[in-house]
Amino acid sequence: KRRIGIMGAMPEEIEGVVALLSDCVESSMGKRTYFSGQLNGIETVVVFSRWGKVAAATTATTLIHEFKITELLFTGVAGAISSELKICDIVLGKRLIQHDMDARPLMNQYEIPLLSKTYFESDATHLVIASKAIQTVFENKSLHSVIGENDLVEFNISQPKLFIGDIASGDQFFSSNEQKVNLNTQLPNVLCVEMEGAAVAQVCYEYEIPFSIIRTISDIADETAHIDFPSFIKKISSKYAAEIIKNIYNQM
Ligand code: ADE
């Protein structure tokens, strides 16, 4: 039976998505609260992942084992690595890589031990559905009604764009241009950086659960990141995530 797990990297994002659930039941386990219910008639479990690779991997594992999810959607924010990305753009991860994995000289840098793999591919069907859904959000200008004119002006957001490509994850918050340039030099295809996606991707790969990682750019991963990041979350991403999820379910 189809059951979708939705993980969010921010409590603010989860709130908006939980509000979409009908017949919502809460259960707590391991410092996490899982919200189970129906969304557009599809059984859905929503949870705040907590932060970092370990937290995200354990949450994904619990969704698979305890809640028997058959697919997983992850929404969160990310810092831009590619200079083409602007705040509020959305990145759909086609491939996920752990930028802090390095077991040299036993194996290549970034290679995941025992899996002979460096990148995890997200689900192709999800990618099509999610990109249609996000284009709908952009085209309908529902963004303006969801977020509000003042905040759009404050963050200098005009028309956000959708990007599909590589996302890098690791247990580091990027807050300097040096970190950003290093990653860009090492992995020039990476569009953005965050702290959970590739860990969730690894768990889903191991359990054969189709997944997709959806990230909104909250900052540009440099010295300004710690200022942009919290205010973006508070003012924008909380509303944005729910709107994206709603549109994804409309396409399912
Ligand atoms: N998520 C959002 N912004 C980030 C950054 N600058 N570094 C790592 N993860 C992030």
Atom 4 of ligand 1: nearest residue by CA position: 79
Paired tokens of 195:
């702290």
Substitution candidate for ligand 1 out of 74, 77, 99 with most atoms within 8 A of CB: 77
> What CATH number should be reported for the domain holding residue 146?
3.40.50.1580
List Cβ neighbours of 109 (8 Å cut-off, separation of 6 or more): 101, 102, 186
Q: Residue 36 domain-assigned?
A: no
- 117 Cα to the center of ligand 1, angstroms: 24
Alpha helices, DSSP H only, in 140-176? 142-147, 149-154
> What's the average model confidence in pLDDT over 222-248?
81
DSSP structure class, residue 229:
H
Q: Residue 94 domain-assigned?
A: yes
Query: Which residues span the domain enclosing 161?
Result: 76-251
Q: Residue 69 domain-assigned?
A: no
Paired tokens of 177:
């241009």
Measured from the CA of 195, which atom of ligand 1 is nearest?
Answer: 9
Q: Residue 144 domain-assigned?
A: yes
Q: Residue 17 domain-assigned?
A: no
Residues with CB under 6 A from ligand 1: 77-79, 173-174, 193-195, 218-219, 221, 225, 229
Q: β-pairing, 32-39 with 42-48?
A: antiparallel
- 78 Cα to the center of ligand 1, angstroms: 5
Residue-wise pLDDT for 85-128, tens only, equals 998 899 999 999 999 999 999 999 999 999 999 999 999 999 99
Q: Residue 187 domain-assigned?
A: yes
pLDDT attached to residue 193: 98
> What's the average model confidence in pLDDT over 51-68?
98
- 61 Cα to the center of ligand 1, angstroms: 23
Q: Mean of the per-residue pLDDT values for the chain?
A: 92
Q: Residue 37 domain-assigned?
A: no
Q: How many domains does the chain have?
A: 1
Substitution candidate for ligand 1 out of 193, 217, 226, 236 with most atoms within 8 A of CB: 193
Cβ neighbours, 10 Å, residue 113: 10
- 121 Cα to the center of ligand 1, angstroms: 21
pLDDT attached to residue 10: 86
pLDDT attached to residue 144: 67
Cα angle vertex 179, ends 99, 213, to 5°?
A: 45
Q: Residue 82 domain-assigned?
A: yes
Token pair 């950003």 is found at 180
- 198 Cα to the center of ligand 1, angstroms: 14
Q: Collapse the DSSP code of 139 into the 3-class scheme (helix H, G, I; strand E, B; otherwise coil) and give the result.
A: helix
Atom 1 of ligand 1: nearest residue by CA position: 78
Rounded to whole angstroms, the Cα distance separating 60 from 120 reads 15
Percent of the chain's residues with pLDDT above 90: 77
The pLDDT of residue 225 is above 90: no
- 93 Cα to the center of ligand 1, angstroms: 15
* ipTM entry: 0.99
Question: Residue 181 — very low, low, confident or very high, per pLDDT cuts 50/70/90?
Answer: very high
